[in-house]
Amino acid sequence: MRYLPLTPDDRQQMLGVIGAKSMDDLFVDVPEAARPANGKFDEAFDLPPHQGELEVDRALSAMAAKNTSAGSVPFFVGAGAYKHHVPASVDHLIQRSEFLTSYTPYQPEISQGTLQYLFEFQTQVALLTGMDVANASMYDGSTACSEAVQMAHRVTRRNKAVLSGNLHPHYRAVIETTSKFAGDAVEALEANVSGKEDIASQIDGDTSCVVVQYPDFFGLIGDLADIAAAAHAQGALLIVAIPEIVSMGALRTPGDMGADIVVAEGQSIGNALNYGGPYVGLFATRQKYVRQMPGRLCGETEDVDGKRGYVLTLSTREQHIRREKATSNICTNSGLCCLAFTIHLALLGEKGFTRLAALNHESACKLAGALEAVSGVELLTPAFFNEFTIRTPKPAAEVIEALADKGVLGGVPASRLMPGNDAVSDLIIVAATEVNTDQDRAAYAAALTEVLS
């Protein structure tokens, strides 16, 4: 087997040193019930034997070829994950052995590479969100959001979260699941494509936090200052979830508007769609809450020679020290994905990032114009970044399938994420990014016209 260096000779010699007669001697503690009859391991597993690279490559390539990749068609699917162009150098750099095959930087003397990029990452996330500090990433946007709710509970010593109805239904579900088992309360409003909801009236003295999405699930953007004020008036925190971090190149930051915790899905920068994972959750907050943050943190310090260096810090928050009293059970970050994020954003810089945002908005504006012009289609989102919602005269799920048959992946039917909610059955959430061309947009409008006619 190509990955196993020991030869039969090696094994015999080593058994001799150990003083064992056979491999079985080393597994002597395994109970009888868990040993295969007559030691016939092969029969115990209904699995094929080892295969060469060529054979594995063929089998997996055949599987992959059955999927329609985003780059091969006019593509407008968003709702929490976005198709962007990632520069080739990003993937090259994250595959460097020293990044790819290293462990968590617990030995800082030989991990300054990882630690320094984490420090750069934290700074970038703080800048993008308009917050003081950020952690070294979470699994993804949805789990970051749920962790934010838990953190708000710790900070406020309350345990009720109020969720905007236009929070991504998956994010809501993750919060509800976590809260259910932790014994916390969740009040979630109804979805409303107009964005009109009275959150303020839901906030009371038991409320630890209000969670809103920006741009919201339907793509709508609006000022959060009033919600922040309403939350703060009751001693609650405002948590803002950003599904599309590229929007921060064009929009006012949640930090600007009074958010206490900002979480985001960072996939758009540096990371592929990957059918949903791995992604990278961004998590930022105000300085004063730093010791209640979940997840890894990298901090600056000096070595014994007085040279600047970086270490993982504030680990007394974490499970490997605090065990059941930790701020979270989390033990991994999304290391390589945040490296990809950091590199891509370093390449973009101020000029590139703001321009990328402008191009995304432009692409969406052009698409909105094209789809609005299709007979029967209604644009429901007056202000948006790179995603908006349309109403179609036919059920959205059917429209999307019909478009797919025509080779256009036209967005997400709201009903897929809000099953059973009749009010959204004719809504499609449509995303556009810098990768879409005029031809893509024209193809969408033409296909939609056909489907609806």
Partner 1 sequence: HEEQLIFERGRDAACGVDLPAPDSVATRLGGMERNGSVGLPGLSEPEVVRHFVRLSQKNYAIDAGFYPLGSCTMKHNPRLNEKMARLPGFSDVHPLQPTSTVPGALELMSELARWLMELTGMPAVAMSPKAGAHGELCGLMAIRAALEARGEAGTRTRVLVPESAHGTNPATAAACGFTVDAIPATEDGRVDLAAFEAKLGDDVAGIMLTNPNTCGLFERDIRKIADAVHEHGGYFYCDGANFNAIVGRVKPGDLGVDAMHINLHKTFSTPHGGGGPGAGPVVLSEALAPFAPLPYVTSTGGELKLVEDEQSSDADPFGRMVAFHGQMGMFVRALSYMMSHGSDGLRQVAEDAVLNANYVLASLKDVMTASFEGPCMHEALFDDRFLKGTGVETLDFAKAMIDEGYHPMTVYFPLVVHGAMLIEPTETESKETLDEFIGCMADLARSAKAGDKARFENAPELTPRRRLDETTAARKPVLRWTPPAPAQAAE
Binding site partner of 205, from a copy of itself, partner 1, none, Cβ cut-off 5-8 A by kind:
none
Residues 319, 330: contact at Cβ < 8 Å? Answer: yes
Give the Cα separation of 409 and 393 in Å (integer).
18
Binding site partner of 258, from a copy of itself, partner 1, none, Cβ cut-off 5-8 A by kind:
none
Shortest Å distance, C-beta 87 to a copy of itself: 6
Out of 314, 435, 446, 452, the residue judged to bind a copy of itself by CB under 8 A: 435
Shortest Å distance, C-beta 235 to partner 1: 24
Burial class (CB in 10 A: 0-12, 13-18, 19+), 143: buried
Out of 1, 2, 29, 307, the residue judged to bind a copy of itself by CB under 8 A: 2
Cβ proximity to partner 1, 6 vs 442, nearer residue: 6
Cβ proximity to partner 1, 276 vs 395, nearer residue: 276
Cβ proximity to partner 1, 91 vs 206, nearer residue: 91
Binding site partner of 182, from partner 1, a copy of itself, none, Cβ cut-off 5-8 A by kind:
partner 1
Q: Which residues contact 215 (CB under 8 A, 6 or more apart)?
A: 221, 242, 243, 244, 247, 251, 384, 385, 387
Cβ proximity to a copy of itself, 71 vs 369, nearer residue: 71
Other C-beta atoms lying within 10 Å of the C-beta of residue 266: 34
Give the Cα separation of 202 and 453 in Å (integer).
44
Distances (CA, A) of 115 to 83, 99, 120, 310, 412: 28, 11, 9, 6, 38
Shortest Å distance, C-beta 170 to a copy of itself: 29
For residue 312, the SS3 value is strand
Shortest Å distance, C-beta 223 to a copy of itself: 33
User: Residue 4 forms beta bridges with which residues?
Assistant: none
Preceding omega of 108 cis (within 30 degrees of 0): no
Q: Which residues contact 226 (CB under 8 A, 6 or more apart)?
A: 200
Q: Which amino acid is at 315?
A: S
Cβ proximity to partner 1, 203 vs 255, nearer residue: 255
User: Residue 209 forms beta bridges with which residues?
Assistant: 161, 237
Interaction between residue 54 and a copy of itself (CB under 8 A)? yes
Interaction between residue 440 and a copy of itself (CB under 8 A)? no
Interaction between residue 53 and a copy of itself (CB under 8 A)? yes
Binding site partner of 435, from partner 1, a copy of itself, none, Cβ cut-off 5-8 A by kind:
a copy of itself
Cβ proximity to a copy of itself, 314 vs 435, nearer residue: 435
Binding site partner of 249, from a copy of itself, partner 1, none, Cβ cut-off 5-8 A by kind:
partner 1
Shortest Å distance, C-beta 2 to a copy of itself: 8
Give the Cα separation of 147 and 335 in Å (integer).
18
Contact mark string toward a copy of itself, 316..355, x via CB under 8 A: -------------------------------x--------
Cβ proximity to partner 1, 204 vs 322, nearer residue: 322
Interaction between residue 95 and a copy of itself (CB under 8 A)? yes
Cβ proximity to a copy of itself, 36 vs 71, nearer residue: 71
Residues 294, 283: contact at Cβ < 8 Å? Answer: yes
**What phi, psi does 145 have (nearest 5°)?**
-65, -40
Give the Cα separation of 18 and 182 in Å (integer).
48
Binding site partner of 244, from a copy of itself, partner 1, none, Cβ cut-off 5-8 A by kind:
none
Contact mark string toward a copy of itself, 217..246, x via CB under 8 A: ------------------------------
Shortest Å distance, C-beta 194 to partner 1: 13
Task: Give one word for 19, left, alpha or beta, with left for phi > 0 and alpha for psi -120 to 50.
Answer: left
Shortest Å distance, C-beta 418 to a copy of itself: 34
Cβ proximity to a copy of itself, 95 vs 301, nearer residue: 95
Binding site partner of 442, from a copy of itself, partner 1, none, Cβ cut-off 5-8 A by kind:
none
Give the Cα separation of 426 and 398 in Å (integer).
9
Out of 34, 37, 88, 304, the residue judged to bind a copy of itself by CB under 8 A: 88
Interaction between residue 92 and a copy of itself (CB under 8 A)? yes
Shortest Å distance, C-beta 442 to a copy of itself: 16
Which residue intervals of 194-237 are DSSP H helices? 225-233
Distances (CA, A) of 181 to 19, 100, 175, 326: 50, 35, 10, 17
Other C-beta atoms lying within 10 Å of the C-beta of residue 100: 12
Closest CA to 131 of 302, 261, 276: 261
Binding site partner of 225, from partner 1, a copy of itself, none, Cβ cut-off 5-8 A by kind:
none
Binding residues for a copy of itself, rule CB under 8 A, total 14
Residues in the chain: 453
Interaction between residue 28 and a copy of itself (CB under 8 A)? no
Closest CA to 269 of 171, 346, 212, 332: 346
* Residue ranges in contact with a copy of itself by CB under 8 A: 2, 53-54, 57, 85, 87-88, 92, 95-97, 347, 434-435
